Structure 1
Amino acid sequence: MSKVFWSRLAPGITAKLFLAVLFTAVCVVVAMALAAQWSFNRGFLGYLNEQEAQRLEAARPRIIEAYKDHGSNWDFLRGERRRWFGLLRPLPAVDPQVDAYAAQPVHPSPPLSELTGALLRTTLLDADGNFVVGFSDTRGKGTRQPLVVDGKTVGYIVTAPFQSVTAAGDVRFERSQYQASWTMGAVSVLMAALVALWVTRMLLKPLRAMAKATRQLAAGDYSIRVHSQATRDEVGQLATDFNHMAQALERNEGMRRDFMADLSHELRTPLGVLHGELEAMEDGVRPLTRESIQSLQAEVSTLNKLVSDLYDLSLAEAGAMTFQHTPLDLVELLRAAAPAYEQRLADAGIAVDLHFNAKELVVQGDARRLKQLICNLLENALRYTDRGGVLVITVGQSADQAVMTFSDSAPGVESEHLARIFDRFYRVEGSRSRASGGAGLGLAICSRIIEAHEGEIDAQHSPLGGLLMTVRLPLRREEFLDTAISGGQGA
């Protein structure tokens, strides 16, 4: 119960993404505020202190000169803060520019250090470090600048750092800076929250649509599609991949249904014939003769072929079809398999033309499976070639491959079906249909056998008007080298 409760309280992806973006924005704002505060303390205040140091450096000659003029002692400044401030203040400007109307020198504005209260924070100490005049609470703060007369230190100037002063104006200025920084930060966080909300909605809108479509797809609605909005980002690619997956599932489901319908038809036909024949024999309508037994045997053979094809296809799909690869002659294998179909082809009115362009073609393969391949191709030509047609079979060599071709006459296969003719559960409608027999499993099994032998099989339009099946199998390396050497010697 507690797990269910906490799982309901767990934030969804919308809340997680929103909080992630907002947290990132808050961290950035806080970091910027702290950096601004550090920059103010280290940069601006440091700049003010540097200005004060330069101002006091300019005042040192005047202080030394006054020290000499008053008997080389500091008694003239003890308690005289006004005189001390007068020595620290800068001299009037000597700029030759003159006001054209008042005929008076143009006095500059007070220096920056004057505005920051440098006079109040400056202290004069004698040679022994005793207080003379100025800011009384030095307590070791600031840097001592020596006053040297004739090579002898007669006193020190000490200025307290600017950040140690807590005047009301300085505090107000500092507070106003901090307040402005944090106000800008708060506004930035609010804007970040609005942007994060907008971003999460925009990003998650297609994801919600795909989640809804996924539930419909899981429920069996394979026609569902997601609008990808033609975007090139990951979300758009995900929507495109989802549509491809849904399309493949819809196609496979349709092929599965067609296959089940075809399979049920193929099973019902021989079973119906067997049932009718056995009932006729049981009722005494049809006597038990050699012809009736042959009829029953033919239907049983049809059922056996169908079940065997289904079993082989299931093994191939599961990768469990067994193969025993041994060296074998493909020419000899075809010579042994073709005579079994001569009579059936002749009965169907199909002429057979065999062409052996090589005496032997040794390949590494499973003799039983390759014979099954040849029989399936012969069976395909037998079932889907009109009476009066022709079947041309050729065997030869191309480079390091053994090549077999099965070319039959009309009817043909439309181009849109050629690329999928080896697919499982796929049937070509039209003239090459189950009306002539067969469950449409033979070519799928042929494709799996060829893959296991590292060969190739493809279907093309036949120049005779039907289908051209081409099988390529790699020759044994020794056989290929012997052929190449003999060919070179002959040349």
Structure 2
Amino acid sequence: MKLGITTKAFLAVLLVALAVLLAMGVAGRWSFTRGFVGYMDELALQRVEDVTPKFVSAYAREGSWDFLRNNRRAWFHLTRPRGGEEDPEREKADRASRNLPLDAPPESDLTGAVFRLSLIDAEQRFVMGNPRIVAGDSVVRRPVVVEGRTVGWLLMGPFQSVSDTGARRFYDEQLHATLLVGGVAALFAVAISLWIARTLVAPIKQVAAATHRLAAGDYAERVVPSSGDEVSQLARDFNSLARALEANERMRRDFMADVSHELRTPLSVLRGELEAMEDGVRRLDGEALQSLKGEVMTLTRLVNDLNELALADLGALVYRKTPVAVGEVLAHTVGAFRDRLAGAGLGLELALAPGLRMAADEARLEQLFRNLMENTLRYTDPGGSLKIVSRRDGDDLCIDFMDSAPGVPDTLLPRLFERFFRGEASRNRATGGSGLGLAICRSIVEAHDGTITARASPLGGVWVALRFPALEP
């Protein structure tokens, strides 16, 4: 049976809590046994040391232990805490030696020492005390020495030996209290574990379910972050991923629609021309062949552009970069377009700074400039103009293409470099190209570690700004 993440988290937290409770119980029991009971035994041993001189004094006075046999009064008088001396003078001297006031009450005995003590004579015969306290490993022996002769032994049993009834009752009460507290703590641990498991795992399960729906193609799926922790960060990252996938899916669909449209138009023209020739409606002459050739060239350019963009996406385009004089490449490219610009009624203004150099693939750089020139020829109204400026700005080399009206709305300027995007509303191929030229420009610029941006031109059209790392002249 596979356990869910909620069950695993619940069991993990619960087991940790129970382990802590068990450890605390064991530690408390050990502390009571080794600490409290040991402390009581130490106090009792100190009490033995205190009463031993009283037994020495009593034996020296009486000459034997006969006065003590079966004499409970005398036994308790000798074994009780300090403060009960028979000799008032000796009691006063003892109190003075211990800095106790003369009217201080007798010391109490909470260790049970008087019930744990017994006396045997020199022949190991029982005299008085607790008859169950006999010699053994757990019994402490202290000799009673009178004038250099051992006349008896004081035996002190362990604390447990006299704690049967009271201690057992105390132990049972402690055990019951411990079990009660442990049970309440265990229930509390269960409740906390369940709450933690649900609180922590619920957002994760929500993200997991959303991921499953996203993988099934529901790119509109979103997760609402519930807090500011790592799980909420995961939810925000998921939402970012979902938005990116949704945008990519939309771009993919738009791309397929645009490609099919761009291919269908010249193919339809070719088919119509061929059917007209087949039916005898149109003659197969030079004009017809020129028309067919034009459509084939349109298809060729579109396929080449798509292939170039595909290679750029894969990183398979080869760039052989060498130091290039940018002014010379610009002048050569513009020179090839002068007649076409003049034919379109467009003026040209060049302002090229001398000595500008950059590391570039000269053929790709010329392709970049040609695409920008084609964009101006295609979209600029007759009677307008094109201004090209190159300059040095710090460590960067800047090239600006600024043309005249018509312009592009500011909201559409960032989209000019998207594939198949055209600034004008019409898709008429008489004015619009494939919509891939500026996308190819962006690919070339990025391959040269540069940037390309579009903004409103001071001449009324579009200002395409290029920026590349410059080489020293």
**TM-score normalised to structure 2 length:** 0.86
Number of aligned residue pairs:
453
Instruction: Tell me, in whole angstroms, the C-alpha distance in 2 between the residues paired with 1:454 and 1:191.
Output: 61
Match of 2:109 in 1: 111
Match of 1:331 in 2: 327
Select the residue among 311, 314, 332 that pairs with 1:318: 314
Structure 1 residue 470 and structure 2 residue 461: aligned? no
Q: CA deviation at 1:284?
A: 3.3
Select the residue among 196, 201, 209 that pairs with 1:199: 196
Match of 2:444 in 1: 449
Kept after mapping to 2: 8 A contact 1:417/1:428: no
Q: CA deviation at 1:153?
A: 6.1
Structure 1 residue 168 and structure 2 residue 165: aligned? yes
Select the residue among 15, 36, 59 that pairs with 1:67: 59
Match of 2:252 in 1: 256
SS at the partner of 2:242?
helix
SS at the partner of 1:438?
coil
Q: CA deviation at 1:459?
A: 2.2
- How do 1:10-409 and structure 2 match up within 5 A? 10-71=2-63, 73-77=64-68, 83-91=74-82, 110-113=108-111, 117-125=112-120, 132-135=127-130, 136-147=133-144, 155-165=152-162, 167-229=164-226, 231-358=227-354, 360-409=355-404
Instruction: Tell me, in whole angstroms, the C-alpha distance in 1 between the residues paired with 2:200 and 2:126.
Output: 71
| Distance change in 2, residues 1:420/1:48 (3 Å) | farther
2:169 aligned partner, one-letter code? R
Kept after mapping to 2: 8 A contact 1:329/1:362: yes
Instruction: Tell me, in whole angstroms, the C-alpha distance in 2 between the residues paired with 1:324 and 1:189.
Output: 72
| Distance change in 2, residues 1:145/1:381 (3 Å) | farther
Taking only aligned residues, the RMSD between alpha carbons, in angstroms, comes to 2.9
Kept after mapping to 2: 8 A contact 1:427/1:433: no
| Distance change in 2, residues 1:315/1:125 (3 Å) | farther
1:413 aligned partner, one-letter code? V
Q: CA deviation at 1:165?
A: 4.7
Kept after mapping to 2: 8 A contact 1:51/1:112: no
Alignment gaps of 5+ in structure 2: 89-102
1:389 aligned partner, one-letter code? G
Q: CA deviation at 1:255?
A: 1.8
Alignment gaps of 5+ in structure 1: 1-8, 95-104, 484-491
| Distance change in 2, residues 1:314/1:128 (3 Å) | farther
Instruction: Tell me, in whole angstroms, the C-alpha distance in 2 between the residues paired with 1:336 and 1:330.
Output: 10
Instruction: Tell me, in whole angstroms, the C-alpha distance in 1 between the residues paired with 2:423 and 2:239.
Output: 27
| Distance change in 2, residues 1:426/1:44 (3 Å) | farther
SS at the partner of 2:407?
coil
2:80 aligned partner, one-letter code? R
Instruction: Tell me, in whole angstroms, the C-alpha distance in 2 between the residues paired with 1:357 and 1:217.
Output: 53
Structure 1 residue 412 and structure 2 residue 423: aligned? no
Kept after mapping to 1: 8 A contact 2:412/2:423: no
Q: CA deviation at 1:35?
A: 1.1
Instruction: Tell me, in whole angstroms, the C-alpha distance in 1 between the residues paired with 2:124 and 2:409.
Output: 110
Instruction: Tell me, in whole angstroms, the C-alpha distance in 2 between the residues paired with 1:80 and 1:388.
Output: 139
Q: CA deviation at 1:166?
A: 5.5
1:386 aligned partner, one-letter code? D
| Distance change in 2, residues 1:305/1:137 (3 Å) | same
SS at the partner of 2:265?
helix
2:233 aligned partner, one-letter code? Q
| Distance change in 2, residues 1:89/1:310 (3 Å) | same
Identity of aligned pairs, percent? 48
Match of 2:93 in 1: none
Kept after mapping to 1: 8 A contact 2:116/2:161: no
Q: CA deviation at 1:107?
A: 6.4
SS at the partner of 1:40?
helix
Kept after mapping to 2: 8 A contact 1:364/1:475: yes
| Distance change in 2, residues 1:345/1:324 (3 Å) | same
Q: CA deviation at 1:317?
A: 0.9
